[in-house]
Amino acid sequence: MNSAWYLQMGFAAVLLFVGIYCLLTMRNLIKLFIGIEIISKAITLALITSGLLRNNMTLAQALTITFIVVEVSMVAVALAIIINVYRHTGSLDVRQLTKLKG
Amino acid sequence: MVLQIFLLCGLTIFSVLAILLRDLLKAAISLALASIFLAMVFFRLNAPYAGVFEISVVAGLITVLFITTIALTKSPSDVRESKLLLIIFPLFFAVFIVIDLIIMKNLLNAVQPNLPGAPGPAGTFGQVYWNERTFDLVAQIGVIFAGVFSVLALFRTKDKHE
Amino acid sequence: MIFPFIAVPLILASVMPLIGRFSKRFLPDALTNLAFLFLLVYSLITMRQLSATGPAIHQLLFLKQVLNINMVIDGFSAFMLFTISLVTLCAGLFSINYMEHYGAKANYYALLLIMVAGMNGLVLANDLFQVYLFLEVAAVASYGLVAFGLGLDELEASYKYLMLSAVSSGFILISIAVIFSLTGSLNFGQVAAGLQALNMKYAVGLCAGFFILGFGLKSALVPFHAWLPDAHPSAPAPISAMLSGLLIKVSGVYALARIFFNVFGLNPALSQVLMYAGVISLVVGAVIALGQNDIKRMLAYSSISQVGYIILGIGLGTPLGILGGLFHLFNHAIAKGLLFLNSGSIQNATGTRSLDQMGGLAKRMPLTAATTLIGSLSIAGVPPLAGFWSKLIIIIALFQARQYGFALIAVLTSIVTLWYYLLIQRAAFFGKLNETWKNIKEAPFWMSASTVILGLICIAVGIFFGVVIRSWIQPAADALSAGVIYGFKMMGF
C-alpha cells in the first residue's frame, strides 16, 4: 500500500476541486457549507496520506483528530449564523444577502 | 489495491451527490455516507484512531448538527439552484480528473521519493498525543471555548434594559 | 516564563460565564481590563528579559515533570506581544461604555479574551501546526464577535467572512500536510533544515503558493480582500479596532513573515511576488477608499492599503525594509485602532456612520475630533507623528534597493491617503454644525480615555522614534532578517 500514496493525494485533489466548485456555484446557504465540509474531507485525507509517506501514522492521526475538533467548532458557529439568518429573512438564499457589496 | 480504489471512488461519488442532490436532507445523509467511506479508507491505511474519530464526530455529530439546522430552517419555497451550472459540472469534473490522472501517472513513474528529515514515530499513539503535542490540547480547549461562547452569543435573548 | 500570555486569558474566559451570573457589568469589566493591563505589563517585562538573555525556547515544567509545551520567544514575538496587549487594553477600556447597549457583556469579554489568547499563542508557537491551530482559535472567536449585534448586516458580513476564512485555513492546512510529507516534521527548525536538504522545487513552490493564498486572504491582500470591507464595518467598534489593528496583522502578516523568512528563506521570486501584492493592495485600497460614504468602510479600505505598505516593506527583504515594515505595523495598529474607536464614539453619539449626515461635530465633541486628527495624520504620514517615520523608512529602503517605480507609487499613494483622511475630518468634524446634532455630548469617560491614550502614544512614538526603533523594533527586524533559523537554545524552568 505504501506505493499508492499518489492515489490518495489524487483523490484529495479531486475532493478539493468538488468542494471549491460547490462554493462557487451553489446558492443555498447550507449547501455552501457542505462545500466546506467536502474540503475538510480532502484535508483529512491529505494529512493521513502524509503520515503514510513518512511512516509516522501516530503523529498524522494526532493532527487529524485535532483538525476534526477545530472543524466541529467551526460547523457549530456557522450553523448558528445560518439559523439566525433564517430567523431574519425566512429564506436560505444567498442572493438575499446582497446588502453589503464587498 | 482494488478495494482501496473502490473506497476512494465511493467517497468521491457520495461527495458529488451531496452537492448535486436538491433535497437538503438527502444531501446531508450523502455527506455522512462519504464520511463512512473515508473512515474505511483510514482503517485500511492503518490509522484506526482517525477512522473512529471520523465516524463518531464527522459522520455522527456534524450530521446531527446539519439535520437539526435543516429541520429548523424549513422554508416553504425551495432555493432554486442554477440548472445550467449543475449540468456543466460533469464536464468540469471530467476535465479535472483527466488532468489529475496525467499528473498522477507522472508521479507513479517517479520512484518513491527518498525523503530526508526526521525519523519515524516515537511511541504509541497515546504517548505521542499526550506528551509530544500537549500544546495542541491547549489550543483545542481554546477552540472549543470559542465555539461554545460564539454559539451562546448568537442565540442569546435580548435583555430587558436594551 | 511566558505561558501566562495564553493561560491567563483562557482561564479568565472559562470562568467568565460564572462571574457574569453574579455581576452583569462591574466585575466582567474590571477583571477583563485588569487582565489586559497585566498582559501589557508582563509583555514589557518579557521584552526587558529578552534583551538580557537573547532568543530562547521556554519549556513548561509542571510539578517537576517536563510538560512538552515549547514556546519560542525572540525579538519579533516580543514585539508582537507588546503591540497586541497595547491595542487590546485600549479596546477593552473602550468596551466598558460602548457595549452597554449590546448586552451580554460577560459573553463578549469571554470571546475577546479567547481571541487575545489565540493571537498570543500564534506569536509564541514554534511549530507549523500550532500556528494553524491558534489562528483558528482567534478566527472562531472573531466569527462570533463580528456577528455579535445580531442584525442582518452583521450576520451577512460574518457569514461571508466565515466562508472565506474557512477556505483560507483549508489551504494553509493542505500546505502544512504537504510540508509534513516532504520533511517529516512540523517544527520550524527541523522543517527549515529539511527544506534545505530537499531538491523538489515544484512541491515546495506549490506549498509556498498555497501559503500566500491562505495567509494573503487572512491579511486581506488584493485580490483576496473582498471580506474585509463588509466584516470590519459591521462589527462593534472595539471589535473593528481589534480586527483591523491586530487580527489581520497577527494571523496574516506575522505568520507570513515568520514562515517565509525563518522557514523557507526569502528568495528573489518570493520577494517580487510579495512586493507586487503589496503595491497592488496599496493602490487599490487607497483608490476605492476615496469613493466611500460610510466612515467605517473608508477606514476598512484604508486598512487594506496600509497592510499593502507593510507587505511592501517586509517583502523587500533588506534589513531597512523589514525595519520600516514592522514599524509601520506598530504605527498602523495604534492609529487604526484609534480611528475605529473614534468612529464608534461618533456612532454612539449620532447613531449614523454616513459622512453625508455628519457635520461640524468638532464643536460638540472636541476630544474625539482632536484624537481623530492625530490618528489620521499619523497614518497619512505627516511629521512629526509616528507614521511619517515608518513610511519614510520604507521609501528610503525602496530607494536604496533601486526599486524606484515602487518608491514613486508609495509616495503618490501617501498623498492620496492624506487626501481621503482630510476628507473624513472635513466632512465629519469641521464645517458648520448640522442642526440634528445640536444636543449631542462628548463620548463617555472610558471611551475618551482609551482614545486619548492611543493618541498620546502616536505623538510620543513620533517624537521619540529613535529610542523606539533602537529598543524594540530593531531586535524584531533582526530576528526576521537573520534568515532561516535552525533552532533556538532551550530554557527550562
Taking the domains of chain B in order of start, what are their residue ranges? 1-74, 124-155
With contact defined as beta carbons under 8 Å apart, do C310 and C302 qualify? no
pLDDT tops 90 at residue A44: yes
**Cβ-Cβ contacts under 8 Å for B117 (sequence gap 6 or more):** A54, C182, C183, C184, C185, C190, C193, C194, C197
In the prediction, which pLDDT does B161 show? Answer: 45
Nearest to A56 among B77, B96, B121 (CB): B121
The model's pTM is 0.91
In the prediction, which pLDDT does B162 show? Answer: 40
pLDDT digits (tens), chain B, 162 positions:
788 889 999 999 999 999 888 888 999 999 999 999 999 999 998 889 999 999 999 999 999 999 999 998 887 666 666 677 777 777 777 777 777 777 777 665 554 555 555 555 566 777 667 767 778 888 999 999 999 999 999 988 765 444
What span, in angstroms and rounded, lies between the C-alpha atoms of B98 and A8?
16
What span, in angstroms and rounded, lies between the C-alpha atoms of B88 and B86?
6
What span, in angstroms and rounded, lies between the C-alpha atoms of A22 and B8?
19
Asked if A102 lies within 8 A of C173 by C-beta distance, the reply is: no
Asked if A102 lies within 8 A of C160 by C-beta distance, the reply is: yes
Asked if A10 lies within 8 A of B100 by C-beta distance, the reply is: yes
Query: Which H or E element spans position C69?
Result: strand C65-73
**Cβ-Cβ contacts under 8 Å for B83 (sequence gap 6 or more):** none
What span, in angstroms and rounded, lies between the C-alpha atoms of C334 and B131?
39
Cell output for C421: 483622511
Which chain A positions have a beta carbon within 8 Å of B21's beta carbon? Answer: none
Mean pLDDT, residues A6-34: 88
Which chain A positions have a beta carbon within 8 Å of C202's beta carbon? Answer: none
Cell output for A88: 431574519
Cell output for C169: 485555513
pLDDT tens figures, B104-128: 776 655 545 555 555 555 667 776 6
The count of other CB atoms within 10 Å of the CB of residue C93 is 25
What span, in angstroms and rounded, lies between the C-alpha atoms of C330 and C218?
18
Place of cell 446539519: B66
A90 to chain B: closest CA residue: B75
Strands C65-73 vs C56-62: parallel, antiparallel or unpaired: antiparallel
pLDDT tens figures, C106-162: 899 999 999 999 999 998 888 889 999 999 999 999 999 999 888 888 888 899 999
Cell output for C2: 511566558
Chains B–C, number of C-beta pairs less than 8 Å apart:
117
In the prediction, which pLDDT does C492 show? Answer: 42
C358 by DSSP, 3-state: which?
coil
Structural domain spans, chain C: 4-492
pLDDT tens figures, B50-62: 999 999 999 999 9
Q: Where are the alpha helices (DSSP H) in chain B?
A: 2-20, 24-44, 48-53, 63-72, 83-109, 125-127, 134-154
> At residue B87, what is the residue type?
I
Strands C65-73 vs C489-492: parallel, antiparallel or unpaired: unpaired
Query: Which H or E element spans position C491?
Result: strand C489-492
In the prediction, which pLDDT does B160 show? Answer: 47
In the prediction, which pLDDT does A101 show? Answer: 58
DSSP 8-state class, residue C222: T
Is B80 at the interface with chain C, CB within 8 A?
Answer: no
Which chain A positions have a beta carbon within 8 Å of C173's beta carbon? Answer: 43, 47, 67
**B 89-108 → A contacts, CB under 8 A:** 89, 92-93, 96-97, 100-101, 103-104, 107-108
Q: Where are the alpha helices (DSSP H) in C102-200?
A: 105-124, 128-146, 152-183, 188-197
Cell output for B112: 518513491
What span, in angstroms and rounded, lies between the C-alpha atoms of A14 and B100?
8
What span, in angstroms and rounded, lies between the C-alpha atoms of C175 and B114?
20
Is C29 at the interface with chain B, CB within 8 A?
Answer: no
- Chain-wide mean pLDDT for chain C? 85
Is residue C487 left, alpha or beta, with left meaning phi > 0 and alpha meaning psi from -120 to 50? left
Cell output for C260: 517565509
Rounded (5°) CA angle B27-B88-B12: 45
With contact defined as beta carbons under 8 Å apart, do B19 and B27 qualify? yes
ipTM comes to 0.93
Of C440, B115, C360, C189, the residue nearest A2 (C-alpha) = B115
CATH code matching the domain that covers B1-74, chosen among 3.40.50.300, 1.10.760.10, 1.20.120.1200, 3.40.1030.10: 1.20.120.1200
Is C104 at the interface with chain B, CB within 8 A?
Answer: yes
**Cβ-Cβ contacts under 8 Å for B60 (sequence gap 6 or more):** none
**Could you give all domains of chain A from N- to C-terminal order, each with its CATH number?**
2-96 (1.10.287.3510)
In the prediction, which pLDDT does B42 show? Answer: 92
Asked if B154 lies within 8 A of A80 by C-beta distance, the reply is: yes
Asked if A25 lies within 8 A of B82 by C-beta distance, the reply is: yes
Residues of chain C with pLDDT under 70: 1, 54-70, 199, 483-493
Which chain C positions have a beta carbon within 8 Å of B147's beta carbon? Answer: 140
Q: Which residues pair with C65 in a beta bridge?
A: C62
Q: Where are the alpha helices (DSSP H) in C235-294?
A: 237-242, 255-259, 268-290
Which chain C positions have a beta carbon within 8 Å of B113's beta carbon? Answer: 200
Percent of the residues in chain A that have a pLDDT greater than 90, as a whole number: 39
**Cβ-Cβ contacts under 8 Å for C278 (sequence gap 6 or more):** C221, C308, C309, C310, C311, C312, C313, C315
Asked if B54 lies within 8 A of A91 by C-beta distance, the reply is: no
What span, in angstroms and rounded, lies between the C-alpha atoms of B145 and A77?
11
pLDDT tops 60 at residue A3: no
